[in-house]
Structure 1
Amino acid sequence: MSDFDLMNKTNEDLKSLQDDLLQNCEFDNDSRWIPKCLHCSPYTGDVLVGMQQIFSRRKYLTNGRIDRYEYPGRLKKKGPVCYYNPLYVVENNNGDIVVSDDRWRVVGTDHEGKDRFKLYGLRPYGICTDALSHILVCAIQTSTVQVFDKNGVFLRHLLFRQPGLISPCFLAYDINTYQLWVWSDLNKRVCVYNYLTRPTDSTWKPFCVYSSKITGDLLIGMYKHEKRTGKVNRYNHTGELIQCIKYNDKIYELYCCPIFITENQNMDVVVSESDVSRPNAVVVTDHSGQYRFSYSGHPPDFEFQPRGICTDELSRILICDKMEERIHIIDKDGQLIAKLSLSPPDEFVPYSIAYDITTRSLWIGAVDEYDVKLSVIEYEASHPILTGNSVKRRDKSML
């Protein structure tokens, strides 16, 4: 039984499980040690019990250890005393035991109890591991879930300021559905997230990402620095790689370095990319990955520097041009419709863009040497926009 299975138990089920454990487990007869936490390993079937030492009913010592029980409850091994009041315990699929304790630490030991790593200053609570032996920790210090590799090396933050989730406290990973279940103690809510754990080629670095509103797939623009080449990977909702877009029909590479990526209403994949050896371009392929066209500015030249891209409900493509400091609007086949300037011009360079179909608004991120601004522009896709039009905007400084 895994931690995920425990989360799905009703109160009656948990009471029955507790009674079974108390009846069958040969707990240490030394009354100075009491159980504080447990983990049912899905890999070995053993039950790991975090024990804390006391010497009176009211005063606790900080000593802690992890005891291992095998079915049907026989004590298999007493662990070494190397924790301060264990809070949560989990067994990684490489056999390591990982514990969060009351000294704001995450402690990793091997199967024999030898030290592997210690992480300090997180104020950790719930912990779990994924299919790649990554360690996920609810860090109260940052109100996020922090991800570490099996050696305790920090990888990334998860769930930073996630709506509906305040201060994650406990979590469990379901290896069958690739879902992460997170419990917030402050607002008493359980949130479920799709969590992708599939291994990738480490020579390829993710550069941009887009979540498809049409298919629910995840499109990720990848870049390989050594060969200065790029590709687009498509993943389904379980994290399975279902498509790789890299070459055109003449076996030429489509991308050098994908910068921004989006999906059009007709399911075309639209990528802005940068290349020092050829004109920068917005490259468009259809849903199957077949090359359709490239747009390199109007007229095409080496000065074109596409950055942020988005599409509207008419399948028009809007492109931020860093060099010209305008927004190019092209149709779904790559023909220029208009160029849009922010008003007043020459103050900020449009760098990123998004279209809100509900409010008919363009959200444009613009930068200059000292500041970053977010502009909101009224935009009606059904009305033609003339080349060179300037539009008034509502700005908000981001710095």
Structure 2
Amino acid sequence: MTESLNKEHVMWSLSEIQITERGNRRTGNQYLLKLMPEAEFHHSIIVTGVDGCFHISCETSDRVWVSDRQHNLILANTSGDTLHRVEDPRGDLYGLHTVNNESELIYIDEDYNINKLSKDMKTTTTFIEKTYSTWEPKCLYLSSSTGDLLVGMYMHKLWTGKVSRYNKNGQLKQTIQHSNTGKELYGKPNYITVNNNEDVVVSEHWYDFDNVSDYKDFRSGAVVVTDREGRHRFSYTEHPSGSVLKPCGICTDALSHILVCDGATNTVQMLDKDGQFLSHLLIRPSGIFSPCSLSYDVNTHRLWVGSGNNTVVIYRYITRHDALTGTSDVMEALREIQTTGTEIPHQGNQCLLKLMSPPKLLSSLTMTGVYRCYHISCVTSDRVWVSDGRNNLILTSTTGVLLHRVEDICRVLYGGFHTVNSESELFYIDRNYNINKLSKDMKTTTTFIERTYSTWRPWCVYWSPSTGDLLVGVNIYTRRTHKAKVTRYNQSGQLTQTIQKDNTGLELYTQPVYITENNNGDVVVSEFDAVVVTERGGRHRFSYTGHPSGSELRPFGICTDALSHILMCDDTTKTVQMLDRDGQFLSHLPVRPAREFVARGLSYDVNAHRLWVGSYNNKLCVYRCIDREDATTDKDKHFPDEDAFISSTSAV
């Protein structure tokens, strides 16, 4: 008889194996660098004194220069304290500063001179004085290997750029402007860096003059890489999925990877030194949301990431491993071994639910009383509340008859600002940002949650069928403050929970627009660029940013179904996407009628298993996406009232 394998015993036995060396030992560095499975949070900083962290230059492992685009350039420590402020930086540039090996700051001043600030920050000298040339410096990088200063230049008159190389004495020694065919290499350089092989790497805006009549309509971005001699190696212009690139901050690391912030997908993309896409290192990271600046600390191998707000987060994604022993890797692999066992088949209801493919269109209504169908709240299987973002919130039947209109809704809201409880009572946000409750007979309106004088404002609501709680997405938005959170209220209107930050203390939300809840208690929020999901207790589970991961996403209405799928309208792909409960993309639901139909609002009827889909215009469609199946006969069992529903709406 063969005995079952004891995984723990094997792991212990392998750990006792001794490796005996023979022959000459190869000389070299014992410790090698390798990528970690994913970026690991190390520290976050709230930088005071700037209005956005648009460029970062590491001075030491605990001090960094940070600039915005409002004439602020400061030196900050890892506590966020301002240690020094430069008084004359240029205010409309991005990568306007760099640090040399002597910890001296080199920056572009308001007159386009390139200055050098001494390490003790007491002396400022002009390193390169601007001449009367029409070329203006836009970005800088000091090469630690050669000591040369690389300067990205731009000429407004011709909308073209170039890279100039200066030696340690400030003398021009090289100009990179054209490819070997004579074509312009650069549009407008915004950030510049150098790789370990001395490649010059530029993040820039580009204009294709060969195919453009109005350059403003054809603006795009690229990462342009030339070798040390100025020969064009490659230009990276889009993710392999075809997603357009809007490059911002850029840097390289100890493994010669090129890291670039992409404003189109809110990611940090990792390329190899030859421009091949490797991975998304960060995807809409908490607290940052939209990465826009990068700096790599070569001493600690940490990555500093800045955002459009005043947050900088430090990550580790490169580590060291012992080149002589691979025991830890073997042990880690063994821990992943899955042991098999005999499972008892799950005994459940014989009548099961299953997905229909494709969904069945039951009804299509043209609504009166609303211009668009931005949000839907089901009351019964034949009555729904619909709002349009234009101060209209109406109750309508499946025949399109207007039954009631709410007069005091908040005019600036267009998302999920209303919901219905199990008593068919309507909750909605009024013009004063109070949350009101309208009785089932629509005769009595009461204030359920009165807004205080707090700067927080409710933006979306959802009533939980499982707990009876009211989930509210709230935000505070000013020029300098942009935060959001989810609050939970019990049936008496008392605050019982606040969800705002992840386990590292970073902000989870930017602005909740729609909110719902899954069958397992997960709180699901649709924001401007992501779907953010936390568990019932508030722990962050995942953020979905598109398919494939890291693609551009513009979510609108959201709901969940009886099978715990997450359904979401995406304006980028003009589709309704279906995810599983863990955020894995499953499919695009084919819910368009024959003519153009851009989905905006969703509501799932848990009693009849119907999906209501509202469009950008005033079209409202009803689908069946889930059907019943008899487990003993494997035959479909349609819902008994379906024919009656179709006949009641077919004339509309």
State the TM-score, normalizing by the size of structure 2. 0.29
Please tell me whether Structure 1 or Structure 2 has the larger radius of gyration of its CA atoms.
Answer: 2
